[in-house]
Amino acid sequence: MRQGRPFPHPGGAPEAPAEPDLQAAIRVEQMRRYRRMLPGLCLAQMAAAALVAATSHHAAPAWVVLLWLLLTWLLPAISLWRWRPHRHRPPATSVPPAQIRRLAATSTIGGLIWGLSGFLFYTPTLDAHQLVLIGVASGNPAAAVGAMSILPAAALGFSAAHLAPLALRLTMAGGPEHYAFIALLALYMAFLAFIVRGNYRAFRERVAAELAIRGLNDKLARSADMLNEVLENISDGFVWFDADDRLVFCNDKFRHANPLVSDLFVPGTRFEDLVRAIAARKAVNIPPDMVEDWIARRVAHHRAGDGSLEFQLADGRWFLASDRRTARGDHVGIRTDITEKKTIEAELRRARDELERRIDDRTRALQESHDQLRLITDSVPAALAYLDRGKRFVFVNNTGVAWTATTRARILGRHVTEVLPGPSGERIARRLDTALSGETVRYEDQIVYPDGRIRDVAGSHIPHVDAAGITRGCFTLVHDITDQKQAQRELTQAKEAAEQADRMKSEFFANMGHELRTPLNAVIGFSEMLALGIYGDLNARQKDTVKAIGARGKALLAIINDILDITDIEAGRLVPRERDCDLRRLMDEVRETVRQEAAAGSLTIDTAVDPAIGLFRGDPGLIRTLLLKLTANAVKFTPAGGQVTLAARRDRDGGVTLSVRDTGIGMAEQDMPKAMSVFGQVDGTLTRKFEGAGLGLTLAKAFTDLHGGKLTIDSTVGGGTTVSVRFPPARGARRQGGRRTAAQSGSGGDSPSGSGIS
C-alpha cells in the first residue's frame, strides 16, 4: 500500500472543458436532477389538480371536471411509473439530446392540460372560486418553472402552454379589464423567462465548473498515480518527510531496505523515532556503545539536508543515504544499495594488495632476469644493442663494446655516427631510419670498426613497436661472418673450378664418344663381314671369335651411346620430339627386341595393356628406350624360368602408368639409391654374371623426368622388382578415333637418343 498524501498537480488552474463535453455533462446533470425532483413535482401537481377540481365543481359540469382531473393525473402517474425502476440505479453517464427533447414535449403537454383549467373553469365574476383558481393556476407554473429551470425548454414550454388557454379565454371575453389581465400574463411570462435564463446560466456555469474540477481531479489522480508508479519503479529507495520531519511517503524499495522496521513506515511517523527504532531493533550493524552517537549523527545529517552517509544493515547489506531539503522545507531522501559496490571495493583492495605484492615479486624477478640477461648478452659472440628514436645507444653488450674499442659509459647516450664514424656509421644510420619507420631491416656489409678490424657482418635492425603502434626504438643484432664469407668465397672458387672440370669432362666424353664410334662401327662392320665369309671361309673357332668381337663391340657402342645421352641430358641438349604414339605397339617392339635374350635365359615375357589406354603424347623413341632399359634390366636380373611383365593402364585422373614387373632376385631398400645413381650397380650373385655400365635406371629416370613423370621402385630381396612410371594427365590417354593414330603419327620412329641395353 502506498503511504502519504496525494501529490500536488503542477498544472495550475483548471482548464475550461470543451463545448461538446460540456453539453454532454449538462444533459447528464439535467437528467440526474430531473429524476431527483420528479416525485415531488408529480405529487404537487396531483395535489394541486385535486384542489382545483374540488373548487371548480360548480364552474363546469361534473364530467368535464372529472375528465380534466384524470388528464392532469395521467401524465404524473406515467412519469412516476417510468421513474420507479430507475430510482436505485446509478446516474447515467450519457444522455442523448432526444431524451431532453422528449421531456420538453411532455412538459408542454402537461402545461397545456393544466392550462385547460383556466379556460374551462374561468368565471367573469370574482369570487372565492376564481381566487383559488387564479392562485393555483399562477403558483403551480411558477413552482414548476422554478424547479425545472435546469430544463429551459421544458419549463418555458410548460408555462407558455399553461397560460395560453387562459389568455385565449380572456381574449374571447373581451373588455379592458381582460386585456389588462392578458398584459399582466405577458409580463408574468417575461419575468419567468428572465428567471429561467438566470437560473440556467448559473446551472450551466456550475456544471462547467464541476466538469473542470472533475477533469482536474482526474489529471491530479493520474499524475499522482504516475508519480507513485515512477517512484515505485526507480532502482533506489525513496522517502519524503514534511517540514516537521514526519513521514509523508516512501516506496516499497525503501521499505524492503529496512525490513525490521517496515511496520513503522506510516504517514506521520517522526524521523527521529524511526532512527531510534532502527537502532533499538538492531537493524543497523553498529557497536552497542556507539548507538547514541550513530543516532545523533544520523539525525544531524538528516536535518542538514545536504550530503551522503553510508551505513551497513545487520544482514550485511550496505546503503548510501542521500538527503536533500526542498525549497518549502520538506525533506527527500534516496537509499541506494551499494552492497555490490562495497564488495567490489573490497575485492579491488585485495586485488591491489595482491598486485603490489606481485609487483614487488616481479621487480625482484625482473632484477634477477636483468642480471641474467646481462650475463647472457655479454656472453653472446655477437654485438647486441638497443637504440632510441634519436639513434642513440641505450644498451650494448660486451661484444659491441669490444668492437668499438672503448668503454660502455662512452657509448651509451651517443649517436651511432659518433660511435662508428665514417661511411660505415652513415650506412648504419640510414638503415636505422628505415627500422625506426616500422620495417625490419636485414643486411650484410663490410664495416671498419674502431678496433682496427674490417669485419664482414650480417646484421638485423628490429623495430620496437608499443601497443599503440608507435615505434619507440630498435634492437640491433650484428654477427661477425668474416670466416664464413672467406669460406664461402673459397667454396665459390672450388665450385667454379668443379663446374669447369665438369664441362671439360662433358666435352671430353662427347668428343671421345664420337671418336670411339667410328672405329667401333668399323670393327662391328668388319666382324659381320668376316662372319658372313666375304673375305673367305672361316673355321668354327674363327667364326665364334669374330661373333664375340662383334658382340663386344655392340655392347661397348651401347655404353658409349648411354654416356652420350647422359651428357646431352645434363647439358640440356636433349629435347623430346613429342607426338601421339601407340603404347601397345611400343611395348610389342620392346618385347620383340629382348625376345632372344629372354629365350636364352628361359624367361617368359608378357604384356598387359588397358583396352582404354588410347594414344600417348610424348617422344616415342625415348619412351621405347625407357621401356627397353627397364625390360633389359628385368631380363638380366631374373633367373631361368622366371617371368617379366610389361603393363600399361589409364589412371582415374586421366594419367598413364607404365610398369615392368619381374620375378628376379630383387634388391634391398638401402640399395635402391645406389641402383638409381650413375654407373651404380648392386653387387649380388647374379649381377656378376652380366655385363653393363649401370646406366639403365639412370637413363630411364631421366627420360621420365623429361616427360614430367615420376619413376618409383618396389622391390624385396628374392621377391622380384616392379618399376612404375606414372605420367601426368597432360600426357593423358587419347582415344584412337579422336586424334591421329599411331601409324599416322609415326610412333615407331626413333628419337636421336640411343637404344642400347645396359
Residues 247-266 have pLDDT tens digits of 888 887 777 777 777 777 78
Same domain, 468 and 599: no
Residue with grid cell 525533506, as numbered in its chain: 331
Please identify, among 271, 306, 337, the residue that sits at the C-terminal boundary of a domain: 337
Query: Is there a contact between 549 and 523 (Cβ–Cβ < 8 Å)?
Result: yes
pLDDT band at 568 (very low <50, low <70, confident <90, very high): low
Domain for residue 192, yes or no?
yes
- Of 41-45, 143-147, 319-323, 433-437, minimum mean pLDDT range: 143-147
Write down the pLDDT at residue 9. 42
Write down the pLDDT at residue 566. 67
Write down the pLDDT at residue 14. 47
Domain for residue 392, yes or no?
yes
Q: Which of 95-109, 212-226, 268-282, 407-421 has the highest mean pLDDT?
A: 407-421
> pLDDT (tens digit, 9 = 90+) per residue, 19-51?
567 777 777 776 777 777 777 777 777 777 777
Over residues 346-359, mean pLDDT? 86
Q: What is the 3-state secondary structure (H, E, C) of 110-161?
A: HHHHHHHHHHHCCCCCCCHHHHHHHHHHHHHHHHHHHHCCCCHHHHHHHHHH
| 3-state DSSP assignment of residue 320 | strand
- Average pLDDT over all residues of the chain: 75
| 3-state DSSP assignment of residue 638 | coil
Same domain, 528 and 599: no
C-alpha angle with apex 374: 373 to 376, nearest 5 degrees? 60
Same domain, 44 and 185: yes
Residues 6+ away with beta carbon under 8 Å from 400:
383, 384, 385, 411, 478
> pLDDT (tens digit, 9 = 90+) per residue, 272-304?
888 888 878 777 777 778 878 888 887 877 777
* C-alpha to C-alpha distance for 356 and 196, rounded to whole angstroms: 94
Please identify, among 457, 480, 503, the residue that sits at the C-terminal boundary of a domain: 480
Residues in the chain, total: 758
Where is pLDDT greater, at 199 or 470?
470
- Of 20-24, 134-138, 573-577, 629-633, minimum mean pLDDT range: 134-138
Write down the pLDDT at residue 678. 55
Residue 425 has pLDDT above 80, yes or no: yes
Domain for residue 581, yes or no?
yes
Give me the numbers of helices (H) and strands (E) for the chain, helices first please.
21, 17
Write down the pLDDT at residue 753. 40
Domain for residue 369, yes or no?
no
Residue 686 has pLDDT above 60, yes or no: no
Residues 6+ away with beta carbon under 8 Å from 38:
79, 80, 83
Please identify, among 433, 448, 480, the residue that sits at the C-terminal boundary of a domain: 480
Q: How far is CA 391 from the centre of its chain?
A: 45
Write down the pLDDT at residue 197. 77
Same domain, 589 and 734: yes
Same domain, 596 and 519: no
Q: Where in the sequence is the domain holding 140, given as residue range(s)?
A: 19-216
Write down the pLDDT at residue 514. 61
Write down the pLDDT at residue 623. 85
Where is pLDDT greater, at 459 or 374?
459
Domain for residue 182, yes or no?
yes
Where is pLDDT greater, at 80 or 356?
356
Supply the DSSP string of 169-214, one letter for each residue. HHHHH-SHHHHHHHHHHHHHHHHHHHHHHHHHHHHHHHHHHHHHHH
Domain for residue 603, yes or no?
yes
Write down the pLDDT at residue 589. 87
Same domain, 73 and 185: yes
Same domain, 128 and 166: yes
Same domain, 617 and 657: yes
Query: Is there a contact between 757 and 628 (Cβ–Cβ < 8 Å)?
Result: yes
Amino acid present at 360: D
pLDDT band at 746 (very low <50, low <70, confident <90, very high): very low
Write down the pLDDT at residue 338. 82
Same domain, 323 and 248: yes
Amino acid present at 409: A
Supply the DSSP string of 387-449, one letter for each residue. EETTSBEEEE-HHHHHHHTS-STTTTTSBHHHHS-SHHHHHHHHHHHHHHTT--EEEEEEEE-
Domain for residue 359, yes or no?
no
Over residues 182-195, mean pLDDT? 76
pTM of the model: 0.35
Q: Which of 278-292, 491-505, 666-680 has the highest mean pLDDT?
A: 278-292
Over residues 356-375, mean pLDDT? 77
Kindly state the cell numbers that stand for 755.
637404344
Same domain, 585 and 534: no
> pLDDT (tens digit, 9 = 90+) per residue, 161-182?
777 777 777 777 777 767 777 7
Where is pLDDT greater, at 583 or 175?
583
Residue with grid cell 668354327, as numbered in its chain: 540
Domain for residue 402, yes or no?
yes
Q: What percent of the chain has pLDDT over 70?
A: 77
Write down the pLDDT at residue 91. 65
- What CATH number is associated with residue 260? 3.30.450.20
Residue with grid cell 610389342, as numbered in its chain: 588
Same domain, 166 and 197: yes
Q: What domain count does the chain have?
A: 5
Same domain, 545 and 526: yes
Write down the pLDDT at residue 392. 92
> pLDDT (tens digit, 9 = 90+) per residue, 224-239?
777 777 777 777 788 8
Beta-strand (E) ranges in 341-389? 383-388
